[in-house]
Chain A
């Protein structure tokens, strides 16, 4: 009985998760600016794709998210492993603190740091500062996810490898890491999402040239009912959805 209930339940939760997306998709086809239905039209899609600012912001967001995900997942996984082997008080404490810090606080603190540093260097805020900021808050999440998985890992497997003559690094690479892949994948996914969707911190530390998609969408949405927002959101979801399905096909082959 449980086996049939669970998929049904999962489907219901997925519906809950995607309901706003369906709303957005439907209204992206609405020819009226506002939420009163007027008729089907593709004009918002045309407008969104022609909007240079929007396109540039999207590519900025993607670039930043990938860079930040790569760095934070690598650093975070290594850190989780290191913590699992031997506890480190100050790193654990800092990570917990990093999780507990509200975004606006992180943003202001980083802005203060960058402004102080850059004043002496004559540099400006830009993509690099955004990426650094994103890595800074993503690491803790990666560590939490990977460490939760490591806690269920059997240490004796590693010890066996060591007994057989592997170095610590080899034991990590060949024995522990492969079984961590699902957790690392999940952590990377979380990091990517956090980075791609971040608004508060990004808006504070981004420079003149590094406008991201959340910033643009936020401004548009705050102004009230710009359907370009609906169009671009639907496009992103659709586009990424297709990418995911495609890669899923490639993997299960």
Chain B
């Protein structure tokens, strides 16, 4: 396939440029992704080193340990949180992407304004949210000062705060792909719909939305997956009171010093997600990638 065409002489190579387009990416993927993953897969069959790292001794126990209701429960909770966050992200992000796509001028400016906060450390921003949401934080202080509430609201260290943090943290992942598709939509189609008597909301529902389906799919998948693997945001905003998949895996590589088990955990989670993706999206003709 790919390798075979590169062997041909340059003339025929130009005649089959697809391989040229794919070759650089292919090279990077193999060297910097697939090979490291293979190493990790190899690790899952090794024993953990006493203090981190691995020992060259074969074992199946890492895989055997996976079969445990504790981990299934963690995965379930994580998926639920990720799903809710993704949906809220979509609801918040779609109108924003629409606004940017429809703006006649300054589109780049608006896009950059979306990304601007993300050029500072996300940890710092998370701490800022903690400051805003905690009992003596800004939100509660303002609400109490204006007399709306008497006692501070428990805004922090719960699932609500986690969802807020995730939505906040991954909004660009949703907005950018959405924008990329919405921007491309032919204005004349919208005009035609209006000419045929459709109200703006109807046009949105029946013309814009279906046309932006690839963007919606891309955005949702990116955000969902990011939420599944997130560990810092849920840990800090959730107060460390519950353990989600990202933290569990993170722990294996740090506190627990059990790299092989961490590798097994993450590889199986990845396999599950990929399976879900192909089951859900693969059935349609349009693939994600």
Cross-chain contact A13 with B25 (CB below 8 angstroms): no
Cross-chain contact B117 with A21 (CB below 8 angstroms): yes
Main secondary structure of the interface of B (DSSP, over half): helix
In the complex, number of A-B residue pairs with CB atoms less than 8 Å apart: 307
B76 at the interface (CB under 8 A from A): no
With a cutoff of 8 Å between Cβ atoms, the chain B residues found around residue A182 in the complex are: 107, 179-180, 183-184
B84 at the interface (CB under 8 A from A): no
With a cutoff of 8 Å between Cβ atoms, the chain B residues found around residue A167 in the complex are: 14
Cross-chain contact B274 with A108 (CB below 8 angstroms): no
Please report the C-alpha to C-alpha distance between residue A252 and residue B21 in the assembled complex, in whole angstroms: 33
Please report the C-alpha to C-alpha distance between residue A196 and residue B141 in the assembled complex, in whole angstroms: 34
Range class of the B interface residue count: 35 or more
Q: Smallest CB-CB separation from B171: which chain A residue?
A: A17
Within 8 A of A (CB), among B177-222: 177, 179-181, 183-185, 200-201, 204, 211, 214-215, 217-218, 221-222
A172 at the interface (CB under 8 A from B): yes
Main secondary structure of the interface of A (DSSP, over half): helix
Please report the C-alpha to C-alpha distance between residue A132 and residue B28 in the assembled complex, in whole angstroms: 9
Within 8 A of B (CB), among A120-139: 132-133, 135-136, 139
Please report the C-alpha to C-alpha distance between residue A182 and residue B231 in the assembled complex, in whole angstroms: 32
With a cutoff of 8 Å between Cβ atoms, the chain A residues found around residue B43 in the complex are: 112
A48 at the interface (CB under 8 A from B): no
With a cutoff of 8 Å between Cβ atoms, the chain A residues found around residue B113 in the complex are: 14, 17, 244
Select one of A91, A105, A145, A192 contacting B180, CB under 8 A: A145
A119 at the interface (CB under 8 A from B): no
Q: Smallest CB-CB separation from B252: which chain A residue?
A: A104
Cross-chain contact B289 with A100 (CB below 8 angstroms): no
With a cutoff of 8 Å between Cβ atoms, the chain A residues found around residue B122 in the complex are: 197, 199, 214
- Given contacts A104-B253, A149-B180, A78 and B218 within 8 Å (CB-CB): no
Please report the C-alpha to C-alpha distance between residue A109 and residue B96 in the assembled complex, in whole angstroms: 37
With a cutoff of 8 Å between Cβ atoms, the chain A residues found around residue B155 in the complex are: none
Interface residues of A (CB under 8 A from B): 1-2, 6-7, 9-10, 13-14, 16-21, 23-24, 27, 35, 74-76, 78-79, 81-83, 85-88, 91-106, 108-110, 112-113, 116, 132-133, 135-136, 139-141, 143-149, 151-153, 167-169, 172, 182-183, 185-187, 189-190, 192-193, 196-197, 199, 213-214, 217-218, 221-222, 229-230, 233, 236-237, 240-241, 244-245, 248, 251-252
